[in-house]
Structure 1
Amino acid sequence: MTVPPVVLDRRTRVLQRGGVVRVLGGDPVTLVTPSPAVAALLGAGTIPTDTPAGAALARALTDRGMAHPDVRGPVDARDLGAVAVVVPVHDDADGVAALVDTLGADIARGLRVVVVDDGSAVPLAMPSVPSAPSIAPGPVRVVRHGDSRGPAAARNTGTAVAISGGAEVVVYLDADVIPRPGWLGPLLTHLDDPRVAAVAPRIVAADPGRFWVRGYETARSALDMGTEPARVRPRTRVAYVPSAALAVRPDRLPTVPGGGGEGPFDERLRVAEDVDLCWRTDDAGGLIRYEPASLVAHRHRTTVGPLLGRRAFYGRGAAPLADRHGAHVAPAVAAPWSLAVALGFWSATPVGVLVATAAAGRAWHRTRALTGDDRAAAELVARGAGASIRQLPEAVLRPYWPLTAVVLAATARSRSRLARGLRRRVVVAAAAEGLWHWWSAREPGRLPVDEPAGHVVLHRLDDLAYGVGVWRSAWDARSTRALRPELRR
């Protein structure tokens, strides 16, 4: 097995002081001091793995999210006899047909496809492979649930069928996705690492647009985890990956606790079953990676109603996740110093600015003592302060918007300076955070793909819909765990 070289994450910094080399980065941020012999491998930004020292350094950095395997390169032409695609579907025969047709070349290399018809109103027929007519129907199999049992159960059924047929790698693809050329090789290269349990491609728009819903979904789909690779962990930049497109080694995934069905997914969950799988896998010591070099296109929603309905549906996973994973679901997480910076910034008062400056200065002083580098400390503090400044309006306008609405309604007729200032700040925060959400969606070196006005409006509606789902889940569970913020040290 050839181990790919690794590339330092763009946020990782190599610090040198007094002849000592240290590496600062990762998510959460970590400081690593390699031995002098190994430190010499850091000079070029790409770490070769063809020596024991290089392999050890690469492992230490990739496990911490400070570097990522470079899986770009020649097309992977391996035999796919040990790989199976599982497609859960409910009433989308056309989507299955299009997907199977797209997989024709991979099927010719040995890929098998298991379609699980999860109680469709019209039973799904065996799809053909028009792009590869010489292929016998054997590699494509349809399994049916008489009644709809949900996507988790459908994927579990498909997994069992795939494993019984000799599959070592299972790739979950929803019926509304279409893989792009070269999509599978980078995923399999990641899974060659015996510690990697799962890897997800980047999910992009099948029909990209610039305006209104199509533009918003192209720029900020809930399924798109961005342009940069990552180790997937709770409370990090990529906290989970969606199962709409996910490659796994089933033998490396944890079992479901509490009788949640046979297979990797918890069949008691009708939403957020993929988030639960990611977090259980991480808790069990398995690695999950996100690889944007692999692309899968998704048929995004193109009208407001379905878009907001889906976002509310996603929000309903909050309480079940909080019951299983506790504070991982906290809608707002901050350290005391960063919270002070955010409150001081949004107060827009001399006292608030003074408090924010003092908190940031103290954080810089303590970070500098740990890193020994003025610039690196300033960069870390600036990053943390910026995240907290953005998170405050996100929290006020997304999970906590019902409380914000109550406060605004209670002060609507008040002419006091405090009430008017509060209303003004909420409006400014709603616009400013929306514009940041639009601007930060741009690809590296390029402007955002959609226009700002519609994006900001849809982003605010998106937040309202998601918040409705979170509060409904809390009500159904009779629990506030999904609404509790966390203050970190």
Structure 2
Amino acid sequence: MSTRLPPGLVVELGRHVRVYDGGRTLVGGAPPRLLRLPATAAALLVGRRVDVVDARSERLAERLLACGAAAPVVSELPPADLAQVTVVIPVRDRARPLDRLLTGLLGRLRVVVVDDCSRDPAATAAVATRHGADLVALPRNHGPAGARNAGLARVTTPLVAFVDSDVVVGPDTIATLARHFHHPRVGAVAPRILGLPGTDRPNWIARYENARSSLDLGPTPALVHPRSAVGWVPGACLLARVEALGAGFTDGMRVAEDVDLVWRLTAQGWQVRHEPAATAWHDHRDRPTAWLGRKAYYGTGAEVLARRHGPAVAPAVLTPWTAAVAVALLAQRRWSLPVAGAASVVMSVRLARALPGDGGRARLATELVGRGLAATATQTSGLLLRHWWPLSLTGSLFSHRLRRAVLAAALVDGLLDHRRLAPSLDPVRFVLARRLDDLAYGAGLWAGALRGRSARPLLPGFAPRRGAAGGTRAAAVR
């Protein structure tokens, strides 16, 4: 297999990547780091883009892609051949959604439907036959991982698209994703997953999910990597290179099997990408019991992932100085603000001395420390409200300071989220839904940890100290 990038590839810096020193210093990536470019490489960065036209621009583009600082401009990639793709659909007693999904594919791709031991197998078989799909009927229920693997065993094409039966995609969705596989190190790509348009008057849960679904990973292309902004992609719709998958999903996993697969791919050196230029639509749960139950179910997967991937599942990643700032502010004493401010100033000075370059180091160091503080505030709120809420709730009964911190975090976090997402839902019900989301997920997280007798999914991690704030790692691009 060729290791060269496709001719004419154009890569673009992510919108959260900051550029300093005339393009010679970049801050961003997955996970975040500080990148130093020599002047010759910085000259290739024009309007935040790099066009691959020779060996030097190819090396720069490859490095930016590999560290997550840039993503391919998908419209500039060569078109894909849909004959190279097989769609695998696991299904159990969802004949009508299956019919809807197959209708959307327009008969343009080979499809394998895996009936995961339906109670009414005839209905599933009738739909598959009507659309000309191959049918694999399992004699017992295997769950999503086993059902997808049974379909994968029938795939003879280089690429396989796993699509759940409650998802709707079109050929254009898969064609857009498939363009990424011109890059030889891409192992899997997922689209942005939005809520499936339904009733003209969706209830408040549906409107919340349409704005903040667990499956919607946002509008920004990203390299998927543990401990980064996009740390996983859902298996509900995933296009993958068969060569990279090996045996596929881990048999027997009924939750978090998609996260496990993605993390195994990245550990093996494959790139996994989130591509929002392609869209799939998911039939979100909007009944309170089903919605909360699904959130709690997702939470139970953390313990399984902790056993398989260790610290990658940490609910927060801090550095010693950001942890010290968080503890000082949560203490709410007279010395809290002076201590937090002093720690930030000391870190800014130390960071400015460690940064390369002559001019603007103080400003860059200050900005990096500010970003570290913002990330720490977000993660601390997540710990109080989502991952550790049983402890927060219990502690709030005895400590007015903790109670004040939890209430402030609950309101500020929810209102900032409402402003950022601009959902078609008033702030009161949005904040309520946000907090119920956290409570349900956290309940599942603790249930899984207790069942597995392991505190690992509850423990924060610490980023290595490599000379930058908030765990940002320094690296040079040659």
TM value normalised by structure 1: 0.87
- 3-state SS, counterpart of residue 7 of structure 1: strand
Kept after mapping to 1: 8 A contact 2:207/2:423: no
Instruction: Give percent identity, aligned residues only.
Output: 40
Greater helix share, structure number? 2
Q: 1:113 aligns with which of 103, 106, 111?
A: 111
Gaps of 5+ in 1: 131-136, 256-262, 412-418
Closer/same/farther in 2, CA of residues 219 and 403 from structure 1, 3 Å limit: same
Partner of 2:215: 223
Deviations for 1:153-204, whole angstroms, at most 9, x for unmatched residues?
A: 0000111111xxx211000111011125731232111111110100110001
2:439 is the counterpart of 1:464: yes
Partner of 2:120: 122
Partner of 2:194: 204
2:167 is the counterpart of 1:177: yes
Matches within 5 A, 1:133-282: 138=132, 140-162=133-155, 166-180=156-170, 182-207=172-197, 212-253=204-245, 255=246, 263-282=247-266
Aligned equivalents of 1:152, 1:420: Cα separation in 2 = 46
Kept after mapping to 2: 8 A contact 1:371/1:377: no
Deviations for 1:323-343, whole angstroms, at most 9, x for unmatched residues?
A: 111111112221121123333
Deviations for 1:376-412, whole angstroms, at most 9, x for unmatched residues?
A: 3222221111111121121112121111222233x2x
Shift of 1:237: 0.3
Shift of 1:223: 0.3
Aligned equivalents of 1:221, 1:96: Cα separation in 2 = 22
Shift of 1:347: 4.4
Aligned equivalents of 1:87, 1:371: Cα separation in 2 = 51
RMSD of aligned C-alpha atoms?
2.2
- In structure 2, what residue type is equivalent to 1:337? W
Kept after mapping to 2: 8 A contact 1:88/1:151: yes
Aligned equivalents of 1:144, 1:128: Cα separation in 2 = 11
Ranked by relative contact order (alpha carbons within 8 Å, sequence separation 6 or more), the top structure is 2
2:46 is the counterpart of 1:58: no
Partner of 1:85: 87
Shift of 1:349: 4.3
- 3-state SS, counterpart of residue 269 of structure 1: coil
Kept after mapping to 1: 8 A contact 2:185/2:270: yes
Kept after mapping to 2: 8 A contact 1:116/1:154: yes
Aligned equivalents of 1:286, 1:398: Cα separation in 2 = 31
2:424 is the counterpart of 1:439: no
Matches within 5 A, 1:59-74: 59-72=62-75
Kept after mapping to 1: 8 A contact 2:193/2:282: yes
- 3-state SS, counterpart of residue 81 of structure 1: helix
Kept after mapping to 2: 8 A contact 1:242/1:275: yes
Partner of 2:402: 422
Deviations for 1:118-169, whole angstroms, at most 9, x for unmatched residues?
A: 0110002142698xxxxxx65x11111111110000000111111xxx2110
Aligned equivalents of 1:395, 1:463: Cα separation in 2 = 10
Partner of 2:302: 318
- In structure 1, what residue type is equivalent to 2:175? G
Shift of 1:319: 1.0
Closer/same/farther in 2, CA of residues 128 and 322 from structure 1, 3 Å limit: closer
Deviations for 1:421-479, whole angstroms, at most 9, x for unmatched residues?
A: 33222222211122223233x2xxxx444321111111111111111111111122122
Aligned equivalents of 1:371, 1:380: Cα separation in 2 = 14
2:35 is the counterpart of 1:45: no
Aligned equivalents of 1:62, 1:217: Cα separation in 2 = 31
- In structure 2, what residue type is equivalent to 1:249? R
Shift of 1:371: 4.8
- In structure 1, what residue type is equivalent to 2:85? V
Closer/same/farther in 2, CA of residues 474 and 74 from structure 1, 3 Å limit: closer
Aligned equivalents of 2:275, 2:188: Cα separation in 1 = 11
Q: 1:361 aligns with which of 333, 337, 345?
A: 345
Aligned equivalents of 2:146, 2:375: Cα separation in 1 = 37
Kept after mapping to 1: 8 A contact 2:161/2:174: no
- In structure 1, what residue type is equivalent to 2:67? R
Aligned equivalents of 1:44, 1:385: Cα separation in 2 = 29
Kept after mapping to 1: 8 A contact 2:78/2:182: no
Aligned equivalents of 2:37, 2:405: Cα separation in 1 = 47
Aligned equivalents of 1:82, 1:161: Cα separation in 2 = 14
- 3-state SS, counterpart of residue 14 of structure 1: strand
Aligned residues: 451
2:315 is the counterpart of 1:331: yes
Closer/same/farther in 2, CA of residues 180 and 363 from structure 1, 3 Å limit: farther
- Mean alpha-carbon deviation: is it higher for 78-87 or for 232-241? 78-87
Aligned equivalents of 2:346, 2:386: Cα separation in 1 = 30
